[in-house]
Each structure stands twice: as structure tokens, then as C-alpha cells.
């Protein structure tokens, strides 16, 4: 899918200074200036882009389907799945998280093809974890391909803002060159597609998902801090959805967006998105230096021999 030259120029012109993020614990941060990738793509409504995945009665459409509230209560969580599957693309959602005591609650925005490849699937995850002690949310990212779930590639961050007060953008750029996780357009993680990670790099068409669910057993040390439904309902509000990329069509025997069809102006696989800009590199360094508190590549107690990509240069 090619964009006009004028629209691509926005990549270099749309630079903003995002000022004064206030962390829930009281610290104040000024985020680096970065290109606003989310300004390059059009919004799609929930009804245009998604179908119900589970918990239909807990999916509440707002503004004629432009926005949605996903609810978790004692009866069920809830979730959406994209109507299309994508070979690569840019995926973004503005999310406002539930406030209060949210231990065990997980809100996820992610890509997966587990429905097509249950034992050999790919996944790229944003997982927002309700925290049992500080009552702050924790951001976790994860990535794996070809069923490589035996090696968790998690990284965890404290956010530099209170994600329950207003909407914030969580975005995934996934193409053949790299996968980038961005929060409010600031890169927090880049996974470069190279020889070290090639065998477990997501490569098959995936759907986009948005979910809220009870992860008490998984996210709180085996259920030590389970979801307390006294504080229910837990509501994740979602808007400004963007899903732009190479769509899989059921009758295609090969990806329709083959390299022969990709122009140098393609904003998803072309040169503009091959690597991070200098501003994005600065933003990535800032986010990881100041806000990341766990990386699997530093977890020598978990891995006696670190995964090969951890040592790649």
C-alpha cells in the first residue's frame, strides 16, 4: 500500500515535544521529541475493524462504534479480534486503563495467529498488568515466532504517566526489518530481524486483539494477589484504533504484498520504516534507561545460557 509523497513528508515534519508526563509515584518527566507515527494513519471504528472474540455482553460500543469499553467483572472478561489478518503493518490503540486496586487484571493489545497455528504460532504483545502493591500499572512487552513460547522474551517498564487518567497510545510497528513497540510514539523496544533471532521472528499473518481478562494465576505469583471483584467492574476504554498493513486474503496462495510490489515509498516496508530515526533512537534510549526494570536478556537466573539475540550486536 503506497502513500502519497506529501503524506510521507509528515514523517519528517510532524515532530512534537510531549511535555510533562507525571508518574503515578510523583516523579515528573519530560519525554523526548519524536516523530508522531500515529499521525500518518487513519483511524478505523471498532465496528469497521473488529469482531467480538469473547464476553460479548461486556463489550460496550460508544459513539456509534467509534470507541469501545471492554469490561471485566465476575461473570467474564471481554475481547475483540480484527476482521482482517495482516502479513505486516502498523497497529495502534489509545487506551485508558481501570483505576484503583487492579491486581490480577490484564489489558492486552497484541497480534497473534494462534487460531491458525495453535502449536506453531507467532505473537507480538503489549500487556498492561495491574500491580498488587504500588497500584501502578506495569507495561510488559513480549515477542515470539514459530511456537517459541518456551523462551519468554519479556521486558517490563514502569510508565511515566498515570494510564488511568487519560488515553495513551500503544503502537506496534511490525515488518520484515524490525518490530518496534511505542508508547505515545516513543519507542520503548526494538527487535531487529537478524540472523540471531530469525528462527523465532514473527513471520506469518496475524490478527490484532484487544482484551481485558482475569490473569490472577498468571500475573500474580500463582494467584497470591487475585482479582478482587469488590472493585469491579474493571473497564478499559479504547479509541483511535489504527490498523494499516498487508492484508491476507483467503484465496491468496502467497502474500499479496510481495517484495516486487513494495515501493520505496511504502510506509510500512519501504525505506522510511527500515530503521529508527535519530530522534526515535534517543527516545528508545530514554525509555529503556529510565523506565525499564526487567529484561529477559539480563535474567541469568532464568537462563543459564542467554538466548542468542541477547548477545547479537
Give catalytic status of residue 269 as yes or no. Answer: no
Exactly one of 127, 169, 269, 309 is catalytic; which is it? Answer: 127
What does the block give as the cell for 172? 506496534
Exactly one of 123, 169, 242, 269 is catalytic; which is it? Answer: 123
Task: Assign residue 271 a region (left: φ > 0; alpha: ψ between -120 and 50; beta: otherwise).
Answer: alpha
Q: Kindly report the three-state secondary structure assignment for every residue of 91-143.
A: EEEEEECCCCCCCCEEEEEEEECCCCCCCCCCEEEEEEEECCCCCCEEEEEEE
The span from the CA of 313 to the CA of 309, in Å, is 8
- Which residues are CB-contacts of 123 (< 8 A; sequence separation ≥ 6)? 110, 111, 112, 113, 114, 142, 143, 144, 145, 202, 206
Q: How far is CA 72 from CA 134, 166, 213, 215, in A?
A: 21, 19, 6, 11
Give catalytic status of residue 127 as yes or no. Answer: yes
Instruction: Please count the CA atoms within 13 angstroms of the CA of 11 that sit on its side-chain side.
Output: 19
* Nearest Cα to Cα of residue 35 among 12, 18, 19, 8: 12
Element (H, E) at 294: strand 292-295
CA distance from start to end of the chain = 32
What does the block give as the cell for 228? 478482587
Chain Cα centroid distance, residue 26: 25
Give the dihedral of Cα atoms 71, 75, 77, 83; nearest 10 deg.
-90
* Nearest Cα to Cα of residue 41 among 238, 184, 181, 243: 243
* Nearest Cα to Cα of residue 178 among 55, 90, 115: 90
Collapsed DSSP state (helix, strand, coil) of residue 180: strand
> What positions carry a catalytic annotation?
123, 127
Amino acid at each position: 500500500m503506497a502513500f502519497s509523497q506529501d503524506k510521507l513528508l509528515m514523517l519528517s515534519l510532524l515532530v512534537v515535544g510531549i511535555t510533562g508526563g507525571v508518574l503515578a509515584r510523583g516523579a515528573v518527566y519530560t519525554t523526548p521529541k519524536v516523530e508522531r507515527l500515529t499521525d500518518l494513519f487513519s483511524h478505523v471504528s471498532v465496528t469497521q475493524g473488529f469482531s467480538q472474540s469473547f464476553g460479548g455482553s461486556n463489550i460496550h460500543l460508544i459513539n456509534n462504534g467509534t470507541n469501545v469499553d471492554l469490561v471485566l467483572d465476575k461473570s467474564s472478561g471481554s475481547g475483540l479480534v480484527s476482521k482482517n489478518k495482516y502479513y505486516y503493518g502498523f497497529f495502534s490503540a489509545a487506551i485508558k486503563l481501570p483505576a484503583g486496586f487492579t491486581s490480577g487484571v490484564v489489558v492486552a493489545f497484541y497480534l497473534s495467529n494462534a487460531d491458525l497455528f495453535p502449536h506453531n504460532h507467532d505473537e507480538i504483545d503489549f500487556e498492561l498488568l495491574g500491580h498488587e502493591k504500588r497500584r501502578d500499572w506495569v507495561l510488559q512487552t513480549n515477542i515470539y515466532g514459530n511456537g517459541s513460547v518456551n523462551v519468554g522474551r519479556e521486558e517490563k517498564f514502569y510508565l511515566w504517566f498515570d494510564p488511568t487518567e487519560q488515553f495513551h497510545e500503544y503502537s506496534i510497528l511490525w515488518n520484515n526489518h524490525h518490530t518496534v513497540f511505542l508508547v505515545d510514539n516513543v519507542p520503548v523496544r526494538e527487535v531487529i530481524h537478524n540472523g540471531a533471532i530469525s528462527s523465532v521472528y514473527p513471520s506469518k499473518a496475524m490478527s490484532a486483539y484487544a482484551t481485558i481478562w482475569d490473569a490472577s494465576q498468571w500475573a500474580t505469583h500463582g494467584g497470591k494477589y487475585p482479582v478482587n471483584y469488590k472493585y469491579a467492574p474493571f473497564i478499559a476504554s479504547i479509541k483511535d484504533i489504527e490498523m494499516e498493513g498487508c492484508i491476507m486474503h483467503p484465496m491468496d496462495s502467497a502474500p499479496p504484498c510481495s517484495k516486487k510490489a513494495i515501493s520505496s515509498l511504502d510506509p510500512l516496508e519501504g525505506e522510511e520504516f527500515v530503521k529508527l530515526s535519530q530522534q526515535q533512537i534517543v527516545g528508545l534510549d530514554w525509555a529503556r534507561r529510565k523506565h525499564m526494570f526487567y529484561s529477559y536478556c539480563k535474567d541469568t537466573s532464568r537462563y543459564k545460557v542467554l538466548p542468542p539475540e541477547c548477545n547479537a550486536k
